[in-house]
Amino acid sequence: MTVFGELLSPLCAAPDPAPEFEETRWARVLARDKSADGDFVYAVRTTGVFCRPSCPARAAKRENVTFYATCDAAAAAGFRACLRCRPQAAAGRDARASLMESLARYIDAHAHETVKLSCLAEQAGMSPFHLQRVFKAVIGVSPKEYHAAARLRAFKMRLRDGGDVLGAAFDAGYGSTSRIYEQVEGALGMTPSSYRAGGLGETIAYAARKTSLGTLMMAASDRGVCFVQFGDDEAVLLENLRHEFFAASLLPAGPTSTAPLDAWMEVLSGHLAGLSPSPELPLDLRGTAFQISVWRFLMRVKPGEVISYTQLAEGVGAPRAVRAAASACAANRIAVLVPCHRALRADGGLGGYRWGLERKRALLVAEGRKTVLL
């Protein structure tokens, strides 16, 4: 599994429901429009195959064709990829992508060892320079960054299993205690000993408000907002917060809070009600280097503007890591303030949203988007 494998996927297996796009898409299929490759695929019910729009095969009958936004969606519906036009290659699932994913799995298995770029390049049959570029384009981070993340995951797993800090460090491949604090304290968001205790010693204040989009809960550490989520039940949201910060001290906002959370919630509630602009609050972002780069890029997308997942991947310097960029959106735990709702599919469709598509649509409409596709 790659570093992004554990993240939620925003893709679904249902065909694209936007009827106004179907005839346009069918016209592009009849024209074998190569510029449409990667934007969508079409599946033929009589053959059980899905193709890219430019497939040179004889055109199917229109009544037998169903459109899907992604190869994954078509495959989940039971169709297989066309061997002639190889639609998965158009979506970045070509041989090079498979090779890079294999190298990522190799790094996962050897996270506790020194993994040299020259060794990886030899396995891939590429020059180190070329491998570096292709790996980052496909996976979203460099081999060195991926290895650091894999080692950190191993370290965290050993700490959560109850191992002592020193033993976990050496098992994960860190050569000395100084290396632990140099490399992992910032990524953990706390000291290793605190992480081993599940965040024990860290205080997180929380508050909840009823909004037009349902119950909204916000939580903050002493570094800033670390949790903003929508839901229908405050108790469920609090349980989600406990899961994210499983042994930190959770305090309801008030005089004893470590952050001015009541005021921040008031400002954010006012924004959701259309009474004020989006607030600029201090954020405590916790994630992989790639996730944080995606979230920071999203924070530069202005209200009323949108960006496709493809543009998002390009914006963080990893143009072929579209799925990873979408997964980073799905892993975002700070709704609205990290505006992942402004990321859409290439055709303008909503794509996915961790807190429901109706909330995503409502946020976009409130920001000035007059039309939003499903």
Q: Rounded to whole angstroms, how far apart are CA atoms 237 and 242? A: 9
Q: Which residues pair with 225 in a beta bridge?
A: 220, 283
**Encoded amino acid at 8, one letter:** L
Active-site choice (51, 55, 71, 82): 51
- Displacement of CA 110 from its chain's centroid (Å): 25
**Encoded amino acid at 210, one letter:** K
Q: Rounded to whole angstroms, how far apart are CA atoms 345 and 350? A: 6
Active-site choice (55, 71, 329, 340): 340
Q: Is 55 a catalytic residue?
A: no
Q: Rounded to whole angstroms, how far apart are CA atoms 279 and 233? A: 24
Q: Is 340 a catalytic residue?
A: yes
Q: Rounded to whole angstroms, how far apart are CA atoms 253 and 208? A: 9
Q: Rounded to whole angstroms, how far apart are CA atoms 162 and 178? A: 21
> Residues 229, 240: contact at Cβ < 8 Å?
yes
Q: Rounded to whole angstroms, how far apart are CA atoms 90 and 88? A: 5
Q: Rounded to whole angstroms, how far apart are CA atoms 344 and 33? A: 22
- Displacement of CA 91 from its chain's centroid (Å): 17
Torsion of CA 314, 317, 322, 323, to 10 degrees: -160
Distances (CA, A) of 188 to 83, 89, 159, 184, 277: 45, 36, 11, 6, 32
Which of 338, 337, 335, 241 lies closest to 293, judged by CA? 338
Collapsed DSSP state (helix, strand, coil) of residue 370: coil
**What is the maximal distance between C-alpha atoms in the chain?**
71
User: Tokens 């570029």, residue?
Assistant: 133
Q: Residue 71 — φ and ψ, nearest 5°?
A: -65, -40
Structure tokens at 192: 């290793």
Q: Rounded to whole angstroms, how far apart are CA atoms 79 and 76? A: 7
Q: What residues act catalytically?
A: 51, 340
